[in-house]
Structure 1
């Protein structure tokens, strides 16, 4: 009986020892888990503390900036009275400047419009001349525009015999075509210029010198345009330039041939040009 009791006690003690060891292990695991949570919370707390410190610093900086802005704003408010006076004067000066600029801009636009119209008219004139004279060689006749002026250069071999101021029959054919165009352009005036080479006039010639020859050739062309083709004489001017406006070297026969020429200078009437400017004043796009 005693042995049985003794064995029972030992068994109970053994069972009791086993249960306590299991609970210990569980508690130990919970403690480790709790410690891990505590460590994680500590890290997060430190991070939050650092962020809070940074936020406090930023807040202090913003408050300082806010104070500076308030001070600047107050200074601006204090200066409003002076600025208002200055602004009023500035506005008046600006208004005057804008008025002046507007006037200058209007003038420029009027001039540009007049120049554009003149160029358009000149272009139409050139196209008309080239249309009626296009069958001639470029060496004999040349049409160009320079600085708003139309030039028609005609070689003297088309207009005159050598040493003569009498217009040839072939020349009348050319001048008739030119007359057809200029008669349809009543807003143009033109000057007929006679040009020679540098060779001196022979003593037996009926001319005193190249001045005399160039002028007589110019007047011969003008008379032909007036008498044979009905061009109004009031629109024409005859001029002699002798050998003093060459377009080539007089040292060669080719150059001399180019310099012996009659040049018709066609340009709008000055009053017509100013009328273009005045018409620009009436243009709604300008006004």
Structure 2
């Protein structure tokens, strides 16, 4: 998927100015399809989190069933103990009457047989309930282990992303106050760089300070090969008025995202398959475009770092 997205961006950038309108529209439609796929993957991540919560709810219900089964077993045990005590008393009576009356003995024998039949039935019920209780206990322990493992993996991912956020903040500390922010939200790390740090107006050529910031970011990413990296280009809503090389803000934002990817790829320790470039144009603003300050905030590059969820998905499928 990521390779398709990158290929789409590159083809869009190369052929925008030289292909027919029909081909360009086809490429643009394909680009929109890839955007929808990206949204679908985000929804899938939210579904995985919802599944985890549902598993916890199921675990609580199973615990309630287990507790109820324990109570029923105890009640059966108490009934069994009472019947056994009654049986023992009758047996003593039987021994006493045996010396005096054959009629009383016969009656006592019948009572003993009935009582023994009741005891046997209770023993069978108790054994069946104990078996069901053991089965519930084993299932509860198995579910608990899988939930604990899932929580451990999620905690590890969160801790790793927190450590990654701190490492990036430390690496980019020289650029504080220059339009660069680093945040951790929803298990992801977001690095936002305003265009004043990276590009001149209407350009997609990265300046000296911007290149230095991206290279430092790349050094941290090289030490974290299990992180997916999405680079998004954003513009304000002022129409692009540059050369004929680009058709508008969307093309410009794509070019800028691809320029960041090109710098990151200069680091041989970053896996290319982890990188995705996307142009968002003016359609994902974070501030009002009614003021110069707001437009400046909207002209930015966002780098979104996401942990790979293969291990979590596997655990969910096993539940």
TM norm. shorter chain > 0.5: yes
* Matched-pair contact (CA < 8 Å) for 1:114–1:273: yes
| Structure 2, gaps ≥5 residues long | 1-81, 87-114
Identify the residue that residue 96 of structure 1 maps to in structure 2. 135
Q: Is the 8 A contact 2:225 2:271 kept in 1?
A: no
Residue 121 of structure 1 aligns with which residue?
Answer: 160
Rg comparison, structure with higher value: 1
**By how many angstroms is 1:116 displaced?**
1.3
Return 5+ residue gaps in structure 1 as ranges: 1-72, 279-287
1:237 partnered with 2:289? no
What CA distance in whole angstroms lies between the structure 1 residues aligned with 2:200 and 2:242?
18
Distance 1:122 1:92 in 2: 45
CA distance in 2, matches of 1:189, 1:74: 67
The answer to whether residue 208 in structure 2 is matched with residue 159 in structure 1 is no
TM-score, with structure 1 as normaliser: 0.64
Is 1:198 the counterpart of 2:222? The answer is: no
The equivalent residue for 2:306 is 267
Q: CA RMSD in A?
A: 2.7
- Whole-angstrom distance in 2 between the partners of 1:92 and 1:189: 48
Higher relative contact order (CA 8 A, sep 6+): 2
**By how many angstroms is 1:204 displaced?**
5.0
Q: 2:294 matched to 1:255?
A: yes
With normalisation by structure 2, the TM-score equals 0.58
**CA distances 1:68-108 after superposition (whole Å, capped 9, x unpaired):** xxxxx569845544432322221122112112211211111
Quickly say closer, same or farther: Cα 1:187–1:75, change in 2 above 3 A. Answer: closer
Cα deviation code 1:227-273 (max 9, x no counterpart): 3x433322211111112222222222222211111111112234466
Matched with 1:148 is: 187
Residue 205 of structure 1 and its aligned partner are, at CA, apart by 5.7
- Which of 126, 132, 141 aligns to 1:87? It is 126
**What is aligned with 1:37?**
none
Q: Distance in 2 between matches of 1:74 and 1:94?
A: 22
Change (3 A) 1:121 1:140: same
